[in-house]
Structure 1
Amino acid sequence: YYPEARLTRLWNRLVGADAQPEAKTFPMAS
């Protein structure tokens, strides 16, 4: 189990959302 912040950071890296502040959430939460 990873902290949510760490998961979000990893997800952002995977989807390249670092340049998209509005996309710093998991798809499930959208």
Structure 2
Amino acid sequence: NVAGATSPPPPKHVRTFLFQSAPISSILFVT
């Protein structure tokens, strides 16, 4: 389904992604 594939992920998924990416970005930024 093209529409489903191009549709943005659910807010919950985005929130989880940002939550998991934040620590990594912080470490890279500090290093």
Query: With CA pairs under 8 Å and 6+ residues apart, which has the higher RCO, 1 or 2?
Result: 1
